[in-house]
Amino acid sequence: MEVKMINDRPVKIWASDVEESAMEQIVNLTKLPFLFHHLAIMPDVHAGMGMPIGGVLATVDAVIPNAVGVDIGCGMCAVKTSWRVEEISLDVLRKKIMRGIRKAIPLGKEHHKKAQDENFMPQGHDIDSMTVVSRQYISATKQVGTLGGGNHFIELQRDEEGKLWVMIHSGSRNLGKQVGDYYNRLAATLNERWHSVVNPELRLAFLPLKTKEFNDYWAEMQYCVDFALCNRRLMMERIKEVLADALPGIEFEPMINIAHNYAAWEHHYGKNVIVHRKGATLAREDVVGIIPGSQGTASYIVEGLGNPESFCSCSHGAGRVMSRTKAVQSLSLQDEIKRLDDQGIVHAIRTVHDLEEAAGAYKDIEQVINNELDLVKVKTRLLPIAVIKG
């Protein structure tokens, strides 16, 4: 971990290198008048919208919608099974399991054609009081249990014992985007009206504590975090049904779940503050987390060490080393396909467009993990056997 002083504020960096555009955003964050104590930058850091992904920002009495992002509640879940991978034939893997998952779970921009049972939706929220969620609710009932696109994935994996795991990366779908965009626009409008000292060009408009707008955003953000969990949980249940049909007698351990795009009230350095994790994972002591690699590389089940210097956080994945556009322009489709084929991984990389999420577009997950061994300890290393992308 390296400590830099920027605008007289400490910035603690666990990354081996930080791209110029991400560093510019880090500098901007140090200018915020409500920044608390220091800024923490995880080893998977890369540029985002306003705030870099892989950033952990603690603030005093203010929340920044763009420091959470638009895929509110996006995160990981994983389940260990009783079945050994070596006992699964390639024919069963391809024809029963992979086809079954694709049939059960809409991918990319696809939604369910019919609304799902409301029991699959978040419970205990006052939806009628929410501006965005209330008008998006019906649509959301068709989004729950769907994967989405971009870097979201379903992956079947093998652990060190040869046991089969299922891992899912997904978030709050269009609902989270609608909530994030609405409150970021509202914050920008109000900041202009208040003549805020935060430069609007930084895209870090905020909502102060004890305002109606803060309370409204907080309630809708929490709903999206819960919706994202419901989304992952429903997908996992349907994958388990597919596996149970293909592998009679299979048993499942409890699901591990953790989010990496949200804000939360926490106590750090003697004060209650709002911690924004944008592409960062909670690593409080004994908390079990998930740090996925890129397509075709290892993923990790980890346990937090509760390091206060990172605000008890760690990376959320490998982190991009190049943009989607640059990946398409510079990576070799043949090389990326060969990388997966040589490992015997069932995948769906077929066209140049698929290079957006190829392993070559991401940082080395092994280096990322090595950079944060003071934040987490590794419990399980998982290797992919089959990948489904949105």
Q: Are 164 and 382 in contact (CB under 8 A)?
A: no
Q: Which range has the worst mean pLDDT, 97-106, 139-148, 331-340?
A: 331-340
Q: What is the mean pLDDT of residues 96-103?
A: 96
Residue 136 has pLDDT above 80, yes or no: yes
Residue partners of 377: CB distance under 8 A and separation at least 6: 302, 303, 305
pLDDT given for residue 202 in this prediction: 92
Angstrom CA distances, 41 to 59, 70, 209, 258, stand at: 15, 20, 25, 19
Place of tokens 């400490």: 10
Structural domain count of the chain: 1
Q: Coil, helix or strand for 84? A: strand
pLDDT given for residue 36 in this prediction: 98
pLDDT given for residue 347 in this prediction: 85
Residue 337 has pLDDT above 90, yes or no: no
Q: Bridge partners of 53?
A: 46
Q: Hey, how many other C-beta atoms are within 10 angstroms of the C-beta on 312?
A: 23
The answer to the question of residue 120 being in a domain is: yes
Q: Coil, helix or strand for 224? A: helix
Q: Tens of pLDDT along 61-73?
A: 999 999 999 999 9
pLDDT given for residue 360 in this prediction: 84
CATH code of 372's domain: 3.90.1860.10
Residue 186 has pLDDT above 90, yes or no: yes
Catalytic residue IDs: 316
Q: In angstroms, rounded to a whole number, what is the distance separating the alpha carbons of residues 131 and 115?
A: 21
Residue partners of 36: CB distance under 8 A and separation at least 6: 58, 59, 60, 268, 269, 271, 273
104: left (phi over 0), alpha (psi -120 to 50) or beta: alpha
| DSSP characters over 176-218 | HHHHHHHHHHHHHHHHHHTT-SS-GGG----EETTSHHHHHHH
| DSSP characters over 119-166 | GGS--S--GGG-HHHHHHHHHHHHHTT---STT-EEEEEE-TT-EEEE
Q: Tens of pLDDT along 281-336?
A: 999 999 999 999 988 899 999 999 999 999 999 999 998 888 888 888 888 888 88
Q: Give the tokens for residue 168.
A: 């899912």
Angstrom CA distances, 4 to 14, 80, 252, stand at: 11, 40, 45
Residue 131 has pLDDT above 80, yes or no: yes
pLDDT given for residue 312 in this prediction: 98
In which domain, by residue range, is 241 found?
Answer: 2-321+362-389
The answer to the question of residue 354 being in a domain is: no
Torsion of CA 210, 216, 217, 222, to 10 degrees: 110
Q: In angstroms, rounded to a whole number, what is the distance separating the alpha carbons of residues 46 and 49?
A: 10
The answer to the question of residue 256 being in a domain is: yes
The answer to the question of residue 327 being in a domain is: no
Q: In angstroms, rounded to a whole number, what is the distance separating the alpha carbons of residues 213 and 198?
A: 18
Residue 348 has pLDDT above 80, yes or no: no
Residue 390 has pLDDT above 90, yes or no: no
pLDDT given for residue 349 in this prediction: 82
Residue 353 has pLDDT above 90, yes or no: no
The answer to the question of residue 350 being in a domain is: no
The answer to the question of residue 47 being in a domain is: yes
Q: Tens of pLDDT along 30-75?
A: 999 999 999 999 999 999 999 999 999 999 999 999 999 999 999 9
Place of tokens 């997950």: 365
Report the predicted TM-score, pTM, of the whole model to 2 decimal places.
0.94
What is the residue type of 98?
M
Strands 280-282 and 271-278: unpaired
Q: What is the mean pLDDT of the chain?
A: 95
Q: Bridge partners of 166?
A: 79, 156
Angstrom CA distances, 112 to 130, 166, 226, stand at: 24, 22, 19
The answer to the question of residue 343 being in a domain is: no
Q: What is the mean pLDDT of residues 90-100?
A: 95
pLDDT given for residue 178 in this prediction: 97
What is the pLDDT confidence band of residue 124, given thresholds at 50, 70 and 90? Answer: very high
Q: Are 42 and 313 in contact (CB under 8 A)?
A: yes
Q: In angstroms, rounded to a whole number, what is the distance separating the alpha carbons of residues 57 and 35?
A: 7
The answer to the question of residue 374 being in a domain is: yes
Return the higher-pLDDT residue of 80 and 354: 80
Q: Give the tokens for residue 242.
A: 């597919």
pLDDT given for residue 268 in this prediction: 98
253: left (phi over 0), alpha (psi -120 to 50) or beta: beta
